A = this chain, B = another copy of it.
Amino acid sequence: MASAQYLGIDVGGTNVKMGVVDAKTGKITNFYSHDTASWRESGHFMERFADAIAVELYANKDVKKVGIGLPGMINRDRTVPLEITAIPELDGVPMVDILTKRFPDVEFFLENDANAAALGEFYFVEDMNDENYIFITLGTGVGGAAIINKKVFVGGDGNAMEPGHIPSRNGKVLERNIGKKELLDLATLRRSEFRGKTMLSDDGTISTTGLVAAAAEGDALALAIWAEVGEMLGDALVTMVRILDIKQILIGGGLSASFDYIMPAVNKQLDYWLTPYYKKSLTVTKATLGNDAGLLGAASLCF
């Protein structure tokens, strides 16, 4: 018997991507991407969005479940987007109701995109057997999700897990210390300490890719920056572990390319703060889905 086929939809600020995902293999077919801006400008975002879904469903009659990842806050029942800053016309729209009326024999599942991506790791990564894990994304901000018993942990009012906004050093929240822009500023600021010991220029052109590449070659400034990032991230991970009692941590997002260079400092902090109950089974690994994380994550909402 063929395995189930789900439609996964990753709604982003730049593109809306959709594709039919094989539940067993995670293979994506019928991939379709449309730019978000033109649907917004039409003044009929929901209609255009539903039309695109109609085309996919018409071409794939076996698909009876659709998962949708949205970049923002959703109501507790997971039926209505509340605050989608990239597509504000969706705020308050009863999306699941509208889609269910138009496609009565299809089930729709909404979720925050970081939460969906976290769930995707469980269903589509081989050897990923942990039912409980913390998923952290490093990028412009620091996002997060917790999976407990294979389900997205939504907390009290539906929007749990904002690790980027917990208090960190210097009177700043975590992502204002280790977000992409902030760590580049830090590199520029600390450049003078490493005169002669770094290949990174002080002309304001340091990039995160450059910082990763430099660290790979042992550059002292780059290693120092990633160590500082790792320390602050490590402290935040300890806090999450203590509050959630979860011992598996996945690090994803664009800046997870720095994984090997932040981990020594992360481990140092875990070792400093945690007791044996946690240490004996705690693991921190790099997330693996990469570019398809959003679409596969959305499809995983259908399981």
Q: Which of A28-36, A61-69, A243-251 contacts B (4 or more CB under 8 A)?
A: A243-251
CB-CB under 8 A for A243 and B246, given A148-B155, A166-B238: no
A273 within 8 Å of B by Cβ?
yes
CB-CB under 8 A for A238 and B273, given A162-B243, A243-B162, A244-B156: no
B246:A163 contact, CB within 8 angstroms: no
Q: Looking across the interface, which residue of chain B has its beta carbon closest to that of A83? A: B277
Residue from B148, B242, B275 in contact with A166 in the complex, judged by beta carbons closer than 8 Å? B242
Residue from B146, B235, B245 in contact with A159 in the complex, judged by beta carbons closer than 8 Å? B245
Please state the number of chain copies in the assembly. Answer: 2
Q: Looking across the interface, which residue of chain B has its beta carbon closest to that of A281? A: B157
Least CB distance, A132 to chain B, in whole angstroms: 3
Q: Restricting to A147-197, which residues have a CB under 8 Å from any CB of B?
A: 148, 154-163, 165-167, 171, 173
A15 within 8 Å of B by Cβ?
no
Q: Looking across the interface, which residue of chain B has its beta carbon closest to that of A130? A: B156
- CB-CB under 8 A from A133, the residues of chain B are 156
A50 within 8 Å of B by Cβ?
no
Question: Can you list, as one digit per residue, whether each of A199-237 has a CB less than 8 Å from chain B (1) or not (0)?
Answer: 000000000000000000000000000000000000100
- CB-CB under 8 A from A173, the residues of chain B are 273
